[in-house]
Amino acid sequence: MRNKIYNETEQKMKGIVDFFSKEIAKLRAGRASISLLEGILVECYGSKMPINQVATITIPQPQMIVIQPWDKNIYGNILKAIQSSNIGLTPISDGNVIRIPIPPLSEERRKELVKILHEISEEAKIEIRETRRKGNEQLKKAKEDKQISEDDMHKGMEEIQKLTDKYIKEIENKVKDKEKEIMEE
C-alpha cells in the first residue's frame, strides 16, 4: 500500500514538472522555437486543430519561423490564429508562406520574462507541495484503516518528502537554465 501511494505521488509530481517544462519552453528567449506556436489552434474543416497538424513549420534562421500550410484554403485561418494568439509576434504574409520574425528582446522585456518564469515556477512548486500533502493524507488514512503500520506511514512520509525535495530542485534547476537563456540572448 505504501509503495502504491509513493508511485502515484511520484507520477503526479513528474507530470507537474513535465507541464512546467512545456510552459517555460513557450517563454520567448529572443530566438525562434517551434514551441512558441504550441497551443495555437487553427479553425479548419469544421474543427480546431493544432497548427503543426495543418502546416509545415521550419526555422531557417535563428530569428525566423516559417509556416507553410498544406492546404492553401486554410492559409487565412492560420494567419488569423497566429494574430489572435497573444504570443506577441507579428506574422508576415506573402500569400504562400507565413514568416514570423523574432525581434531581439529589450532589457525590460527580459526582466518581465524572468518575472513570469518565477511566477510559473512558484505555481509548480505549490502543486508539488499540494501533491505531497495529498500523499501524506493517503498514508495517514491507510494507517487509520490499518492497511499499513505506523512505521510504514512515517517511512512513506519520509520518502514522499525526498520526492518533493527532488522535484522542487529539478524545477529550480530548470528556472536557473531558462533565466540564463533569457538574460544572455
DSSP for 59-87, written as a single string:
EEETTEEEEEESSGGGHHHHHHHHHTS-S
Query: pTM of the predicted model, to two decimals?
Result: 0.67
Show me where the domains of the chain are located.
2-26+106-184, 34-101
Q: Which residues pair with 69 in a beta bridge?
A: 55
DSSP, collapsed to helix, strand or coil, labels residue 48 as strand
Residue 94 to residues 32, 89, 100: CA-CA distances in angstroms?
19, 16, 11
Q: In CATH, which of 3.30.1360.40, 1.10.600.10, 2.60.120.10, 3.90.180.10 is domain 34-101? A: 3.30.1360.40
- The fold of 2-26+106-184 is Topoisomerase I; Chain A, domain 4 (1.10.132)
Measured between alpha carbons, how far is 17 from 31 in angstroms, rounded to an integer? 23
Sign of the torsion angle spanned by Cα atoms 173, 179, 120, 32: negative
Per-residue pLDDT of the chain (185 residues; tens, 9 = 90+): 888 999 999 999 999 999 998 888 777 666 677 777 877 888 888 888 888 888 888 988 888 899 998 888 888 888 888 888 767 778 888 878 899 888 777 788 788 888 889 999 999 999 999 999 999 999 999 999 989 899 999 999 999 999 999 999 999 999 999 888 888 76
Are 169 and 15 a contacting pair, CB within 8 Å?
A: no
Grid cell listed for 126: 505549490
